[in-house]
Copies of this chain bind each other. A is one copy, B any other.
Amino acid sequence: MTIPLPGSQVRGSKTGKPIMALLDLLGRTWALGIIWNLHSGPATFRELQQRCEKISPTLLNTRLKELKTLQLIEMKEAGYQLSHQGVDLFKIVSPLGHWSSQWAQALKEESE
């Protein structure tokens, strides 16, 4: 799977619009999960594997390469961590944490 660079064709769009590249990226298994799990602080490869519970090293490495290329994460002494842009991205999606709780509650009440 090619890395969804903004400006190039991606899954779901020939236009190369940045949002399409981003949706392609975030729509890949574990991409958002990795960003979410890195938010709590830098992690080594193996620790990140554990935070993600069930990710295979093969896929983790694939995603890390993509996220590095797209400058959302970076590898420093402390391990992998969100880059400046990664942090910005996380800030946008972070309300999902709270929203998902309410959503779960609504689904639960519905089923009663």
A residues within 8 Å of B by Cβ? 5-7, 11-14, 17-19, 21-24, 26-33, 36, 52-55, 70-71, 85, 88-89, 92-93, 95-97, 99-101, 103-104, 106-108, 110
Inter-chain contact A96/B19, CB cutoff 8 Å? yes
**Chain B, Cβ-Cβ closest to A89:** B99
Which residue of the partner chain, among B18, B33, B71, B110, contacts A23 with CB atoms under 8 Å?
B33
Q: Tell me the minimal C-beta distance from A13 to chain B in angstroms.
A: 6
Given A18-B100, A21-B100, A22-B99, 13 new contacts (CB under 8 A): A6-B108, A7-B104, A11-B54, A12-B30, A13-B53, A19-B36, A22-B100, A23-B33, A27-B32, A27-B33, A92-B92, A92-B95, A93-B93
